[in-house]
Chains A and B, each alone.
Chain A
């Protein structure tokens, strides 16, 4: 089955950029997603990218996809304390119905 890996923790200073990385194994994955989970809450979709794109920008968020290396990243510009959360990478597999999630990266933003 699909494996999706992320580093567990990232700590940044307020105002700096954050880069959260994700690797996956299924080269036939069509869509890749970033979700955010705040404490005690469900997952909230941040953005997604189609596999034929290299980059997608949405306000402070930039998604980069390296399909050859099966590597996805999420860059958050001007990181704020409100960005502190767990960020999940997810990959669409299984004929377009299944989302396989990574382990999640806990982002801590320090003043």
Chain B
């Protein structure tokens, strides 16, 4: 069975600095998708960034980028120029052959200090 592990329950970053959130996963599939979702206090899960496993190039969305290491089954999220609005729970998620059946990690709570 696929699993997703986020080893950092909490992280803190100074405003305007860079922070990296870690995620590892386990799967025997070769084709899959990986996601980072943000969940602010409003509770709505918001897609931050998405990576297709067959693409070697790391995905980037403005201040958010990933470091996807397929062989190591690692998928970290880098947030550059952190802003107060980035404070939230961040969840790493895996989707294999079953569409829409996302497997989430336990999340990392990110605090941003002014």
Task: Determine if chain A interacts with chain B.
Answer: no
List chain B positions with a Cβ less than 8 A from chain A: none
